[in-house]
Amino acid sequence: MTTDVKNPWELESGLPNDVDAWMVNSRFAKNDKYTQNLTVTDDVTVGLQFISDLVDKDGTVLGTVGYSVGTGWTPSDDGKEMTNPARKNVVRGTRYGDFQERVIVQLKQDMSKFGVPTKAATWDGMGFHWMLEKKKTVGGDSKDTLMPTIFLDRREIKAAEGSSTTSTAPVNIPQALTDKLLALAKSVKSAKDFQLKVMNVPEALGIPALMAQILDDSAAGYWANHNK
């Protein structure tokens, strides 16, 4: 009998996979909770995302999921809500729209009982079985996206005290390293290409929390938030 051995040089997404998890601390932001990194053009946030922490039944944070909401949306009330002067509904085809459609159409959940999609807390407490799926980006690349596949239940749950993901923890990075990483992020067309280049930056490899962000292929990852 043969055993599949994973190539040690193959990069991973950094996302949890094949897990039961509940959504908590949902918010609208550009670079997770670091609102100072919001990209603003004429007071309208570009690249805004819906972001939620995923916890197990004990409240331990397993990871963070993020979906882009499309253009024209502005966060308000510290990211609790988002507004758009041109529309009231999320656009089909955006990652957030795909997520919304998955829950409502395929998993047959009536989310109107809990609020509206423009208020982040509407999703708090929703539990699903989550799996990584390949999704096409605007540029035509394929990337891993965490999506709900089975509805579990909705419950009152919070992240356990002291539980957090390394990808959302504040990281102190020397300015010279920040400048180097930003230049690398803007020089490539995909998260995987960026991750390969960072493997040649030893000062970055020595900061585990930073590497967790860099190896995150999701919309909450380092490259997704610094490539423009």
pLDDT digits (tens, 9 = 90+) for 82-102: 999 999 999 998 899 999 999
CB 13 within 8 A of CB 217: yes
Predicted confidence band of residue 44 (pLDDT cuts 50, 70, 90): very low
| Identity of residue 166 | T
Please name every residue paired with 136 in a beta bridge, in sequence order, or none if there are none.
142
pLDDT in tens, 186-223: 999 888 889 889 988 888 887 767 787 788 777 667 88
Who contacts 25 (Cβ-Cβ below 8 Å, separation ≥6)?
52, 53, 124, 159
Residue 45 has pLDDT above 50, yes or no: no
Tokens linked to 47: 């690249």
Give the per-residue pLDDT at 56: 92
Residue 41 has pLDDT above 80, yes or no: no
Tokens linked to 28: 């609208």
Element (H, E) at 129: strand 126-136
Give the per-residue pLDDT at 57: 92
Q: Lowest mean pLDDT: which of 3-7, 14-18, 207-211?
A: 3-7
Alpha helices in the chain (DSSP H): 95-101, 175-187, 191-198, 202-205, 208-214, 222-226
pLDDT in tens, 134-193: 877 656 666 778 899 999 999 999 887 655 544 444 456 788 888 899 999 999 988 888
Predicted confidence band of residue 3 (pLDDT cuts 50, 70, 90): very low
Residue 76 has pLDDT above 80, yes or no: yes
